[in-house]
Chain A
Amino acid sequence: MDFVQSPDPIRGTARVGNDQPKKAPVPVKIIVAGGFGVGKTTTVGAISEIAPLTTEAEMTSASVGIDNPGQAVTKTTTTIAMDFGVLTIDQTLKLYIFGTPGQPRFAFMWDDLIKGALGALVVVDTNRIDDCYPAVDYFERAGLPFVVGVNTFNGQMNYNLEEVRWALAVREDVPVLSFDARFRSSVRDALLVVLDQALDKAIRAKST
Protein backbone atom coordinates (compact mmCIF):
# COMPACT_ATOMS: atom_id res chain seq x y z
CA MET A 1 0.00 0.00 0.00
CA ASP A 2 1.28 3.39 -0.89
CA PHE A 3 0.92 5.02 2.47
CA VAL A 4 2.41 2.33 4.60
CA GLN A 5 5.24 4.05 6.35
CA SER A 6 8.64 2.58 6.74
CA PRO A 7 10.81 4.45 9.15
CA ASP A 8 13.64 5.96 7.19
CA PRO A 9 17.00 5.63 8.81
CA ILE A 10 18.58 8.79 10.06
CA ARG A 11 21.67 9.47 8.07
CA GLY A 12 23.74 11.69 10.22
CA THR A 13 22.03 14.85 9.14
CA ALA A 14 18.57 16.14 9.43
CA ARG A 15 17.80 15.23 5.85
CA VAL A 16 16.39 11.99 4.69
CA GLY A 17 16.95 10.89 1.17
CA ASN A 18 13.76 10.52 -0.77
CA ASP A 19 13.90 12.32 -4.03
CA GLN A 20 10.33 11.89 -5.16
CA PRO A 21 8.16 13.07 -2.33
CA LYS A 22 4.61 11.82 -2.38
CA LYS A 23 1.97 14.43 -2.65
CA ALA A 24 0.38 14.95 0.70
CA PRO A 25 -3.16 13.57 0.83
CA VAL A 26 -6.07 15.68 1.97
CA PRO A 27 -6.91 14.61 5.52
CA VAL A 28 -10.49 14.46 6.72
CA LYS A 29 -11.60 13.37 10.15
CA ILE A 30 -14.48 11.96 12.07
CA ILE A 31 -14.68 12.13 15.85
CA VAL A 32 -15.71 9.14 17.93
CA ALA A 33 -16.75 10.40 21.36
CA GLY A 34 -18.23 8.89 24.45
CA GLY A 35 -17.61 7.97 28.07
CA PHE A 36 -14.99 5.55 29.26
CA GLY A 37 -15.37 1.94 28.37
CA VAL A 38 -18.17 2.43 25.89
CA GLY A 39 -16.12 1.05 23.02
CA LYS A 40 -14.48 4.05 21.38
CA THR A 41 -11.16 2.29 20.96
CA THR A 42 -12.91 -0.80 19.63
CA THR A 43 -14.81 1.37 17.18
CA VAL A 44 -11.67 3.08 15.96
CA GLY A 45 -9.81 -0.22 15.74
CA ALA A 46 -12.57 -1.90 13.78
CA ILE A 47 -12.45 0.58 10.95
CA SER A 48 -8.80 1.61 10.94
CA GLU A 49 -6.36 0.04 8.52
CA ILE A 50 -3.62 0.33 11.11
CA ALA A 51 -3.65 -0.69 14.73
CA PRO A 52 -5.02 2.33 16.58
CA LEU A 53 -2.34 4.76 17.65
CA THR A 54 -2.45 6.73 20.83
CA THR A 55 -1.43 10.27 21.42
CA GLU A 56 -1.42 11.83 24.81
CA ALA A 57 -2.65 15.31 25.32
CA GLU A 58 -2.94 15.29 29.05
CA MET A 59 -2.60 12.78 31.78
CA THR A 60 -2.89 12.44 35.49
CA SER A 61 -0.93 10.06 37.62
CA ALA A 62 -3.95 8.19 38.85
CA SER A 63 -5.00 6.83 35.50
CA VAL A 64 -3.00 3.86 34.42
CA GLY A 65 -5.59 1.66 32.77
CA ILE A 66 -7.01 2.13 29.35
CA ASP A 67 -10.76 2.21 28.99
CA ASN A 68 -11.83 -0.24 31.60
CA PRO A 69 -15.54 -0.52 32.22
CA GLY A 70 -14.97 -1.90 35.70
CA GLN A 71 -13.05 1.12 36.86
CA ALA A 72 -14.70 3.66 34.67
CA VAL A 73 -17.49 4.35 37.08
CA THR A 74 -15.19 5.46 39.86
CA LYS A 75 -12.53 7.03 37.74
CA THR A 76 -12.04 10.61 38.74
CA THR A 77 -8.77 11.49 37.09
CA THR A 78 -7.88 10.28 33.71
CA THR A 79 -5.66 10.16 30.73
CA ILE A 80 -6.52 12.29 27.81
CA ALA A 81 -5.20 9.69 25.56
CA MET A 82 -6.68 9.84 22.15
CA ASP A 83 -6.82 6.73 20.10
CA PHE A 84 -6.99 7.28 16.45
CA GLY A 85 -7.02 5.29 13.30
CA VAL A 86 -6.51 5.89 9.62
CA LEU A 87 -8.37 4.78 6.55
CA THR A 88 -6.85 5.53 3.17
CA ILE A 89 -9.72 6.36 0.83
CA ASP A 90 -7.39 6.85 -2.12
CA GLN A 91 -3.97 8.30 -2.72
CA THR A 92 -5.21 11.83 -2.27
CA LEU A 93 -7.67 11.36 0.56
CA LYS A 94 -7.19 9.97 4.02
CA LEU A 95 -9.81 9.55 6.71
CA TYR A 96 -8.71 9.93 10.32
CA ILE A 97 -10.91 8.65 13.09
CA PHE A 98 -10.20 10.20 16.47
CA GLY A 99 -11.57 8.61 19.60
CA THR A 100 -11.87 11.12 22.37
CA PRO A 101 -13.08 11.10 25.94
CA GLY A 102 -16.37 12.81 26.56
CA GLN A 103 -15.66 14.65 29.77
CA PRO A 104 -16.67 18.29 29.84
CA ARG A 105 -13.33 19.35 31.27
CA PHE A 106 -11.68 18.26 28.06
CA ALA A 107 -13.69 20.72 26.06
CA PHE A 108 -10.65 22.87 25.49
CA MET A 109 -9.22 20.06 23.47
CA TRP A 110 -12.36 19.48 21.48
CA ASP A 111 -12.23 22.95 20.00
CA ASP A 112 -9.04 21.91 18.26
CA LEU A 113 -10.34 18.51 17.49
CA ILE A 114 -13.58 19.42 15.76
CA LYS A 115 -12.04 22.11 13.59
CA GLY A 116 -12.59 20.85 10.08
CA ALA A 117 -14.16 17.59 11.28
CA LEU A 118 -16.82 16.04 9.07
CA GLY A 119 -18.91 14.90 11.99
CA ALA A 120 -19.01 12.80 15.10
CA LEU A 121 -20.24 9.45 16.29
CA VAL A 122 -21.27 9.54 19.94
CA VAL A 123 -20.92 6.05 21.32
CA VAL A 124 -23.40 5.16 24.04
CA ASP A 125 -23.51 2.33 26.53
CA THR A 126 -27.10 1.94 27.68
CA ASN A 127 -25.89 1.05 31.15
CA ARG A 128 -24.41 4.49 31.50
CA ILE A 129 -26.30 6.71 29.13
CA ASP A 130 -25.43 9.90 30.96
CA ASP A 131 -21.72 9.44 30.17
CA CYS A 132 -22.39 10.77 26.71
CA TYR A 133 -24.30 13.92 27.72
CA PRO A 134 -21.24 16.19 27.60
CA ALA A 135 -20.38 15.03 24.10
CA VAL A 136 -23.94 15.51 22.87
CA ASP A 137 -24.10 18.95 24.49
CA TYR A 138 -20.81 19.94 22.99
CA PHE A 139 -21.55 18.84 19.44
CA GLU A 140 -25.00 20.43 19.54
CA ARG A 141 -23.53 23.73 20.62
CA ALA A 142 -20.68 23.51 18.14
CA GLY A 143 -23.07 22.72 15.29
CA LEU A 144 -21.11 19.64 14.32
CA PRO A 145 -23.20 16.96 12.62
CA PHE A 146 -23.38 13.95 14.91
CA VAL A 147 -25.01 10.60 15.25
CA VAL A 148 -25.76 8.72 18.45
CA GLY A 149 -24.58 5.14 18.18
CA VAL A 150 -25.63 2.69 20.84
CA ASN A 151 -22.96 0.05 21.14
CA THR A 152 -24.90 -3.15 21.51
CA PHE A 153 -22.24 -5.40 23.09
CA ASN A 154 -23.42 -8.80 21.93
CA GLY A 155 -26.77 -7.50 20.88
CA GLN A 156 -27.71 -6.60 24.42
CA MET A 157 -29.51 -3.37 24.99
CA ASN A 158 -31.16 -2.33 28.18
CA TYR A 159 -33.24 0.28 26.43
CA ASN A 160 -34.54 0.56 22.95
CA LEU A 161 -33.47 3.33 20.62
CA GLU A 162 -36.59 5.40 21.23
CA GLU A 163 -35.89 5.35 24.95
CA VAL A 164 -32.31 6.43 24.32
CA ARG A 165 -33.51 9.23 22.10
CA TRP A 166 -35.96 10.30 24.75
CA ALA A 167 -33.26 10.21 27.45
CA LEU A 168 -30.85 12.26 25.36
CA ALA A 169 -33.52 14.64 24.08
CA VAL A 170 -31.66 15.13 20.83
CA ARG A 171 -33.28 16.88 17.91
CA GLU A 172 -35.45 14.88 15.57
CA ASP A 173 -32.89 15.10 12.78
CA VAL A 174 -30.12 13.53 14.85
CA PRO A 175 -30.01 9.83 14.00
CA VAL A 176 -29.99 7.39 16.91
CA LEU A 177 -28.84 3.97 15.83
CA SER A 178 -27.38 0.82 17.24
CA PHE A 179 -24.18 -0.77 16.10
CA ASP A 180 -21.61 -3.28 17.24
CA ALA A 181 -18.20 -1.70 17.71
CA ARG A 182 -16.45 -5.02 17.17
CA PHE A 183 -17.50 -5.41 13.59
CA ARG A 184 -16.03 -3.43 10.78
CA SER A 185 -19.15 -3.47 8.64
CA SER A 186 -21.25 -2.28 11.57
CA VAL A 187 -18.86 0.59 12.34
CA ARG A 188 -18.68 1.42 8.64
CA ASP A 189 -22.46 1.69 8.43
CA ALA A 190 -22.56 3.92 11.50
CA LEU A 191 -19.89 6.17 10.01
CA LEU A 192 -21.81 6.31 6.74
CA VAL A 193 -24.76 7.75 8.64
CA VAL A 194 -22.40 10.35 10.13
CA LEU A 195 -21.19 11.16 6.63
CA ASP A 196 -24.78 11.50 5.41
CA GLN A 197 -25.32 14.12 8.07
CA ALA A 198 -22.07 15.81 7.14
CA LEU A 199 -23.07 15.84 3.49
CA ASP A 200 -26.45 17.39 4.29
CA LYS A 201 -24.74 20.12 6.24
CA ALA A 202 -22.11 20.75 3.58
CA ILE A 203 -24.73 20.98 0.85
CA ARG A 204 -26.82 23.34 2.96
CA ALA A 205 -23.77 25.47 3.65
CA LYS A 206 -22.92 25.61 -0.02
CA SER A 207 -26.39 26.58 -1.17
CA THR A 208 -26.63 29.52 1.19
Chain B
Amino acid sequence: MTYPDPDDPARPARPSVRPFLQSGPHTAGGYRPAPGNEPPVDEQTTTLRPFVITSGRTDGTDPEIGMETQVTVTHAAVPVRLSPEMRAIVALCGDPLSVAEISARLRLHLGVTRILVGDLRAAGQLDVHVLDNDSPDPETIMRVIRGLRAIT
Protein backbone atom coordinates (compact mmCIF):
# COMPACT_ATOMS: atom_id res chain seq x y z
CA MET B 1 0.00 0.00 0.00
CA THR B 2 1.49 3.26 -1.04
CA TYR B 3 0.20 6.73 -1.14
CA PRO B 4 1.80 10.05 -1.81
CA ASP B 5 3.85 11.13 1.09
CA PRO B 6 4.75 14.78 1.23
CA ASP B 7 7.67 13.96 3.47
CA ASP B 8 9.13 11.40 1.17
CA PRO B 9 12.57 12.66 0.24
CA ALA B 10 14.36 11.87 -2.96
CA ARG B 11 17.35 10.85 -0.93
CA PRO B 12 17.71 10.03 2.73
CA ALA B 13 16.44 12.87 4.80
CA ARG B 14 19.35 14.70 6.28
CA PRO B 15 17.93 16.60 9.15
CA SER B 16 20.48 18.90 10.56
CA VAL B 17 21.39 18.74 14.18
CA ARG B 18 18.56 20.44 15.81
CA PRO B 19 18.78 22.53 18.86
CA PHE B 20 17.48 20.91 21.94
CA LEU B 21 16.27 22.12 25.23
CA GLN B 22 19.15 23.70 26.96
CA SER B 23 17.44 25.93 29.44
CA GLY B 24 14.37 26.05 31.51
CA PRO B 25 12.80 23.28 33.54
CA HIS B 26 14.48 20.54 31.58
CA THR B 27 18.01 21.34 32.62
CA ALA B 28 17.74 19.29 35.75
CA GLY B 29 18.60 15.66 35.40
CA GLY B 30 18.25 13.30 32.54
CA TYR B 31 19.62 13.59 29.13
CA ARG B 32 20.34 17.10 28.09
CA PRO B 33 21.17 17.69 24.48
CA ALA B 34 21.71 21.18 23.23
CA PRO B 35 21.51 23.44 20.21
CA GLY B 36 22.93 22.68 16.83
CA ASN B 37 24.92 24.39 14.17
CA GLU B 38 22.36 26.80 12.87
CA PRO B 39 22.06 29.98 14.79
CA PRO B 40 18.88 29.76 16.79
CA VAL B 41 16.23 31.81 15.10
CA ASP B 42 13.69 31.68 17.80
CA GLU B 43 14.08 30.01 21.13
CA GLN B 44 10.56 28.68 21.05
CA THR B 45 10.78 26.85 17.76
CA THR B 46 14.37 25.70 18.19
CA THR B 47 13.60 23.99 21.44
CA LEU B 48 10.52 22.26 20.18
CA ARG B 49 11.64 20.40 17.13
CA PRO B 50 13.81 17.63 18.62
CA PHE B 51 11.01 16.87 21.00
CA VAL B 52 8.84 16.24 18.00
CA ILE B 53 11.38 13.84 16.56
CA THR B 54 11.56 11.83 19.74
CA SER B 55 7.88 12.20 20.56
CA GLY B 56 8.69 14.28 23.55
CA ARG B 57 11.35 12.16 25.17
CA THR B 58 14.71 13.34 26.33
CA ASP B 59 15.46 10.38 28.50
CA GLY B 60 14.92 6.67 28.74
CA THR B 61 17.44 5.55 26.17
CA ASP B 62 17.81 1.82 26.09
CA PRO B 63 21.12 1.16 27.88
CA GLU B 64 21.72 -1.75 25.56
CA ILE B 65 22.08 0.64 22.65
CA GLY B 66 25.63 1.91 22.84
CA MET B 67 27.41 4.14 20.41
CA GLU B 68 29.23 1.29 18.73
CA THR B 69 26.22 -1.05 18.76
CA GLN B 70 25.57 -2.48 15.32
CA VAL B 71 22.20 -2.01 13.72
CA THR B 72 20.69 -3.66 10.66
CA VAL B 73 17.38 -3.57 8.88
CA THR B 74 14.98 -6.31 9.86
CA HIS B 75 14.31 -7.95 6.57
CA ALA B 76 11.07 -9.54 7.57
CA ALA B 77 9.74 -6.21 8.79
CA VAL B 78 6.28 -5.16 7.81
CA PRO B 79 6.45 -1.86 5.94
CA VAL B 80 5.04 0.86 8.09
CA ARG B 81 4.77 4.58 7.83
CA LEU B 82 7.73 6.18 9.48
CA SER B 83 8.91 9.68 10.18
CA PRO B 84 11.55 11.03 7.77
CA GLU B 85 14.23 10.65 10.42
CA MET B 86 13.31 7.05 11.08
CA ARG B 87 13.10 6.32 7.41
CA ALA B 88 16.55 7.76 6.91
CA ILE B 89 17.91 5.52 9.66
CA VAL B 90 16.32 2.43 8.15
CA ALA B 91 17.65 3.38 4.73
CA LEU B 92 21.21 3.54 6.08
CA CYS B 93 21.14 0.20 7.82
CA GLY B 94 20.97 -2.16 4.86
CA ASP B 95 24.47 -3.14 5.89
CA PRO B 96 25.44 -3.20 9.56
CA LEU B 97 26.12 0.25 10.88
CA SER B 98 26.88 1.59 14.35
CA VAL B 99 24.61 3.98 16.18
CA ALA B 100 27.39 6.57 16.22
CA GLU B 101 27.78 6.35 12.45
CA ILE B 102 24.04 6.74 11.97
CA SER B 103 24.12 9.82 14.16
CA ALA B 104 27.07 11.31 12.31
CA ARG B 105 25.80 10.60 8.83
CA LEU B 106 22.32 11.91 9.43
CA ARG B 107 23.60 14.74 11.57
CA LEU B 108 21.15 13.65 14.17
CA HIS B 109 21.93 14.25 17.77
CA LEU B 110 23.37 11.11 19.34
CA GLY B 111 20.71 10.98 22.02
CA VAL B 112 17.95 11.42 19.48
CA THR B 113 19.46 8.70 17.34
CA ARG B 114 19.57 6.27 20.25
CA ILE B 115 15.94 6.92 21.07
CA LEU B 116 14.84 6.50 17.47
CA VAL B 117 16.86 3.32 17.04
CA GLY B 118 15.23 1.98 20.18
CA ASP B 119 11.81 2.84 18.77
CA LEU B 120 12.58 1.21 15.44
CA ARG B 121 13.77 -1.87 17.25
CA ALA B 122 10.56 -2.00 19.26
CA ALA B 123 8.61 -1.53 16.04
CA GLY B 124 10.36 -4.52 14.51
CA GLN B 125 12.06 -2.46 11.81
CA LEU B 126 15.64 -2.75 13.01
CA ASP B 127 17.75 -5.48 14.50
CA VAL B 128 19.96 -4.19 17.26
CA HIS B 129 22.87 -6.53 17.74
CA VAL B 130 23.44 -6.52 21.46
CA LEU B 131 26.60 -8.24 22.60
CA ASP B 132 26.33 -11.18 24.94
CA ASN B 133 28.95 -10.00 27.33
CA ASP B 134 29.91 -6.49 28.24
CA SER B 135 33.52 -7.07 29.06
CA PRO B 136 35.76 -7.97 26.16
CA ASP B 137 37.27 -11.45 26.28
CA PRO B 138 40.99 -12.10 25.78
CA GLU B 139 40.47 -13.85 22.44
CA THR B 140 38.75 -10.81 20.96
CA ILE B 141 41.47 -8.52 22.26
CA MET B 142 44.12 -10.78 20.74
CA ARG B 143 42.38 -10.52 17.40
CA VAL B 144 42.38 -6.73 17.64
CA ILE B 145 46.07 -6.78 18.52
CA ARG B 146 46.89 -8.99 15.55
CA GLY B 147 44.75 -6.83 13.30
CA LEU B 148 46.44 -3.65 14.45
CA ARG B 149 49.92 -5.13 14.09
CA ALA B 150 49.07 -6.00 10.53
CA ILE B 151 48.46 -2.41 9.49
CA THR B 152 51.26 -0.18 8.39
Contacts and interface: CB of A to CB of B under 8 A. Distances in A.
Interface of A: 3, 5, 7-10, 12-16, 18-19, 21-29, 53-61, 82, 84, 86-87, 89-90, 93-96, 98, 112-113, 115-116, 118, 184-185, 188, 191-192, 195-196, 198-199, 202-203, 205-206
Given A16-B90, A57-B109, A116-B131, A26 B140 contact: yes
Nearest to A22: B95
Interface string B9-39: 1111000010000100000000011111000
Interface of B: 2, 5, 8-12, 17, 22, 32-36, 40, 63, 66-73, 75, 77, 79-82, 86-88, 90-98, 100-101, 103-105, 109-111, 113, 125, 127, 129, 131, 134-138, 140-145, 147-149, 151-152
Contacts of B100: 53, 55, 82, 84, 96, 98
A203 to B, nearest CB: 5
For the residues of B in contact with A, the DSSP-based class is loop
B12 A10 contact: yes
A123 B152 CA distance: 21
A10 B140 CA distance: 36
Residue from A59, A184, A206 having most chain B Cβ neighbours under 10 A: A59
B90 A21 contact: no
Contacts of B92: 5, 7-8
Contact of B141 (A53, A98, A195): A195
Contact of B94 (A21, A55, A98, A196): A21
Contacts of A199: 138, 141-142, 145
